[in-house]
Amino acid sequence: MINVFKLFSLTLVFVFSTTLYAQSVTPLAFSIWDPFAFPQATQVQGLRLGLFYAKNTVVSGLDLGLVQHTTERSSGLMLAGINMANVSTGFQAGLFNLNHQSWGFSLGLFNYIDEANCPTVGLLYNQATFSSTGPQMGFYNTASKNVGIQVGVLNNSMDSTGLQFGLVNVSEVQKTGLQIGLINISNGSIMPFFKFN
């Protein structure tokens, strides 16, 4: 009877401590599908493993899984089929990278980033919805405002003050900057091979 009481007491202590710890930091987190995660910590500083879908507010360290979602900040190494972060300050590698702000490095088939302040390599597609200050490299690169470098087959920017290097370069407004390619379009004019404003 005493062994049953000890086991019950230890179980209560474990459940109570993980419930208290659920709102803090953990060095290791495993998630099958959010909210089925152990422990239910908001922050992971170490290793997060996600079988199908993992979601936390902050992750620092190694982040592995099919779909990894960080609602505030991700720093470290994210390796997943789909990486999602509000702010990413580390290295991301996946099929799809979706960020509000990126200050690290994003490597994928498709990158959808609102503010890209870092190198982004999207083998097929790179999008900086608001601005791109780092280099964009891929088949098709697009940015509302390009102040960095775009290197690809097709480069597109609403406002470019940086460098566009590709077969086709398009900029709606180009006050300064350089276009090097087979076809260069800016301010409504077409200039083959080389255009500097």
The pLDDT tens digits of the residues spanning 130-139 come to 999 989 999 9
Q: What percent of the chain has pLDDT over 90?
A: 64
Beta strands 91-102 and 105-116: pairing type?
A: parallel
Element containing residue 26 per DSSP (H, E)? strand 25-33
Domain limits, the chain: 23-103, 112-197
pLDDT at 106: 95
Mean confidence (pLDDT) of the chain: 86
What is the rounded distance in angstroms from the CA atom of residue 103 to the CA atom of residue 47? Answer: 21
Tokens standing for 99?
A: 């960020």
Q: How confident is the model at residue 21 (pLDDT cuts 50, 70, 90)?
A: very low
Does 189 score more than 70 pLDDT?
no
Does 102 score more than 50 pLDDT?
yes
On whether the CB atoms of residues 158 and 177 are closer than 8 A, the answer is no
pLDDT at 12: 44
Q: What is the pLDDT of residues 36-70, one digit of tens each?
A: 887 878 899 999 999 999 999 999 999 999 999 99
Q: What is the pLDDT of residues 27-41, one digit of tens each?
A: 999 999 888 887 878
Nearest to 24 by CA among 2, 53, 52, 57: 57
